[in-house]
Amino acid sequence: MPRVGIGYDSHRFTTSRPMVLGGLQLDCGFGLAGHSDADAVLHAVTDAVLGAMGGPDIGELFPDTDPRWKDADSSVFLRAALERAAQANLAVVNCDVTVIAEQPKLSPHKQPMRRRLAELLGIDPSRVSVKAKTNEGMGWIGRGEGLAVIAAVLLDERTA
């Protein structure tokens, strides 16, 4: 039986570090605050993979109190989630991501992000979607305090 998972993440903006999002460094003059590299796209995708497997969540596996994950490249978390899936004989079918942010302008980054996610997930880019929305100026996202990401991942049994 295929299994679907949903992941959500949000991080505050900060001017004290570069923006890392979707496995890419974006040159936009500000970044995301967090214990690891704060890559909200990879965190949401990681939680979607873990969620499809019935958990645990990313915070349980990689607590932000653990100094090992300080400034960590978040692809480590995604790779670990994919390894757990592989051990359960599950592979990613497709991945659908929505980034909600007023800034930075994401349209030039959607395709590179899609390719990078496909590479990390070990699937063809045609099975990955990266979409960008603003929040129409509403609420904390609208005020430019940070960004949010929603991701869905479908897992299915690996065929030999």
* Residue numbers at the binding site for Mg ion (CB under 5 A): 9, 43
Q: Which burial class, exposed, middle or buried, applies to 109 when counting CB atoms under 10 A from its CB (0-12, 13-18, 19+)? A: buried
**Across-strand partners of 35?**
none
In angstroms, give the least distance from the CB of 160 to Mg ion: 35
- Nearer CB in complex with Mg ion: 79/127: 79
In angstroms, give the least distance from the CB of 67 to Mg ion: 17
In angstroms, give the least distance from the CB of 76 to Mg ion: 13
- Nearer CB in complex with Mg ion: 3/43: 43
Nearest CA among 43, 21, 31 for reference residue 150: 43
- Nearer CB in complex with Mg ion: 9/102: 9
Q: Are 130 and 110 in contact (CB under 8 A)?
A: yes
